[in-house]
A and B are shown apart, each in its own frame.
Chain A
């Protein structure tokens, strides 16, 4: 047993969702120990149980966009500590820490590019950056993406992975919900498709704004998606929640999303849908 133990990766309980570096990866879905290279080839989907592990924003965009013609947008827009917010830590320090940890400057990465040679703009959330929460800078980057689509007459695809609003920016954060919805109203008027892809998790202020405003809404399997967190609901109604509550399959059953798509099929599916939606352009 001892040699086997040495080979197995050390996965701490609290951090089991992040993908640890090293040769081996443990699946959070079925606890199987998997060979990292093989999982990577499978787009970080468990080869045993098809559990979809969380991707970084860059991995996500890398899998989605064609290699040619990528251009990052809005990278210069970074978080501002409007309120000098401080809880157990200063917000400023949290930002610095998140930037160090992720090597990103905010929780949303926007890239113009192509998918199967169709021009579009894509955005993806970085969950490791303060839970992918929506700051004013995230809202601004989202608006920059939508405005790019408006200018170029191209579709906009957004991959959501977010705990919701960024509390440290209080009402500035709440108002980004209005801002992102407003900018999508312009996209709708211009008859440009907005495709929203919901990945694990998509909650709160993100779920209750642009993420559920897709002309087409897709979700990865078993992603947690909802307005209120399950714990808040449990505390409010004092009942245990049914199995599978707020998972993609639950949303599909209740009519909230168009379809559930396996990660390996996302690019093809979206490219196909876009080519049909854009047929008249």
Chain B
């Protein structure tokens, strides 16, 4: 079984394999299979559309965690030019669980900051599976303040299973690192556009998430806790994760209708990993549009609007 396909994609995989087999037959023999291939490809597209039109919340969580899903660096490389990576919290650590730097997004200079997962085993370990340490969050904050001083908008990419739960993380005050980012982001005087690209889980996600706009890729998820964590606490069994995923309303369409995110960025058929270039191009368009809208506001107006926005979440009377 190909690891590219998730369990609910099995019918798609089987059809895809059939097409590949037919292609091989076409090469090896004189039989004309091209018509059949065209027919099967159409069928494949219809089938994929069908499967993806009725995804459950749990299936979307699987897509958000797909091992081939583009990560922050994949987008930064495709969206930006002149990327200059910037490291370190200036106190203790390089903070490689977050990828960050100065770059150009077309003509606009931006500060890019995003959780970074690893692709290979070695990189996964180096990136700590996208679970940021307090040092990585403090690096992010340092760079946001740097951006503010030079009037550079901040673009964040959110993709984390949560902040790192470990002994040193607690010793270095993980709570404060997250909290400080929330407070400083709330009053930063440059535009902040936040993009949830994969897993938006818990306080570790929000530590890069207090901004003027929240964009969310179609098959990303955003939640207070992982479905597994929620299930083991409220249902006393991690096996109920699928039910918890549904109950948590963590999908982009639910969150948009609840008014908790601003825009859903549509993904290519089959998910972002099927066509990272197309995904990046769509995302780029959205980010540029949002930044253009925000750039016409003066600083006070910008910060006041962000303040009003964050005060209104969960309190509709305020908005």
Contacts from A to B (Cβ < 8 Å): 77, 80, 82-83, 85-88, 135-137, 139-140, 143, 165-179, 181-186, 188-189, 204-205, 207-213, 225-228, 232-233, 236-237, 239, 241-242, 245-246, 250-251, 254-256
Contact flag A175-B310 (CB < 8 Å), given A185-B183, A245-B170, A246-B170: yes
Q: Which residue of A lies closest to B221 (CB)?
A: A171
**Once the chains bind, are A167 and B234 in contact (CB under 8 Å)?**
yes
Q: Tell me if B187 is interfacial: C-beta within 8 Å of chain A.
A: yes
Residues in A neighbouring B224, C-beta threshold 8 A: 165-167, 169-171, 173-174, 205
Residues in B neighbouring A211, C-beta threshold 8 A: 175, 179
**Once the chains bind, are A184 and B203 in contact (CB under 8 Å)?**
no
**Once the chains bind, are A169 and B314 in contact (CB under 8 Å)?**
yes
A174 vs B223: C-alpha distance when bound (angstroms): 7
Q: How far is the CB of B318 from chain A (nearest CB, A)?
A: 8
Contact flag A171-B179 (CB < 8 Å), given A139-B314, A182-B210, A226-B170: no
Q: Which residue of A lies closest to B222 (CB)?
A: A171
Counting chain A CB atoms within 10 Å of each CB, the highest count among B166, B183, B185 belongs to B183
Q: How far is the CB of A85 from chain B (nearest CB, A)?
A: 6
Residues in A neighbouring B182, C-beta threshold 8 A: 177-178, 181-182, 209
**Once the chains bind, are B174 and A228 in contact (CB under 8 Å)?**
yes
Contacts A77-B315, A136-B315 aside, 17 further interface pairs with beta carbons under 8 A come to A83-B247, A88-B235, A165-B202, A167-B224, A167-B230, A171-B249, A172-B258, A173-B314, A174-B203, A178-B209, A178-B313, A182-B182, A182-B186, A182-B306, A207-B175, A228-B170, A233-B165
Q: Which residue of B lies closest to A217 (CB)?
A: B176
Q: Mark B209-241, 1 if CB is under 8 A from A, else 0.
A: 110000000000011110001100111100000
**Once the chains bind, are B225 and A165 in contact (CB under 8 Å)?**
yes
Count the A-B residue pairs with Cβ separation under 8 angstroms: how many? 189
A204 vs B229: C-alpha distance when bound (angstroms): 13
Contact of A227 (CB < 8 Å), options: B163, B185, B236, B250? B163
Q: Tell me if B109 is interfacial: C-beta within 8 Å of chain A.
A: no
A176 vs B209: C-alpha distance when bound (angstroms): 12
Q: Which residue of B lies closest to A146 (CB)?
A: B311
Contact flag A204-B203 (CB < 8 Å), given A167-B230, A256-B176: yes
